[in-house]
Amino acid sequence: MSEPFTPNEMMTIAASRALANDDVCFVGIGAPSAACNVARLTHAPDITLIYESGTIGTAPDVLPLSIGDGELCDTAVTTVAVPEMFRYWLQGGRITIGFLGAAQLDKYGNINTTVIGDYAHPKTRLPGGGGAPEIATSAKQIYITMAQSKRGMVEKIDFFTSFGHGDGGDHRKRLGIDTAGPTLLITDLAIWKPDPATKEFTVVSLHPGVTRQMVQDTCGWTVTFADQVESTPAPTALELTTLRDLQARTKAAHAGAAKP
């Protein structure tokens, strides 16, 4: 019998499994960072993790609070200037995976991290795009991870921060964007992939114990399910231990109680 796990742990571990040893991954702070580092500490020890501040090949012992966290620079193979990071590495086509989070997401993978409500008079002002808009168009593929809610997964986002598949279909191609865009969405309930033709995110795998109704109840659009919906394998003991140890070290470090 497998060890009990939370939906967020399942989400992080499922996301980590999507990364390969030879990936060069542009990492977002938060859930993407956790997933990428679990991958590095388990099945993908040679993955190259790049953070927006210019740290290349970083291997943090604890999860960073921000892209400016000293842990990233201290453990990186090298650190380059931000313009070099974006022009040479990202826009030069050297990033295989851009791993992003979202405050709001629509069914075509368009991301809002700017405002909730009207731009001029927002209900909530969010952190903004940072480098995500450039990552969304220049990385070869985009993976997105977020917890499901009707507030977050909406029919129409309030602001286009990072372009996914636009209105669907060949919208990216029509705009001259030649990268694949969002190819994977991992939530706390399911794994989604875009339909090859429409580019609408479609559920391809349900996490253990999750029903189709649970997915629909926490999504703001009418969910499409693949013809063959798989069941996501439960986390292994190694995956859970790795994630929990990483989170424990992070909590201790950020509380000022980390041991050398």
- Which residues participate in catalysis according to the annotation? 52
The angle at the Cα of 159, spanning 186 to 175, to the nearest 5 degrees, equals: 80
Torsion sign over Cα 249, 252, 253, 259:
negative
Q: Which amino acid appears at position 220 of this protein?
A: G
Cβ neighbours for 259, distance < 8 A, ≥ 6 positions apart: 252
8 Å CB contact between 106 and 146? no
CA distances from 251 to 1, 27, 49, 121, 217 (A): 29, 20, 21, 36, 32
DSSP one-letter code for 126: -
CA distances from 148 to 65, 112, 130, 186, 191 (A): 23, 15, 23, 9, 11
8 Å CB contact between 162 and 179? no
Assigned token pair, 147: 């917890």
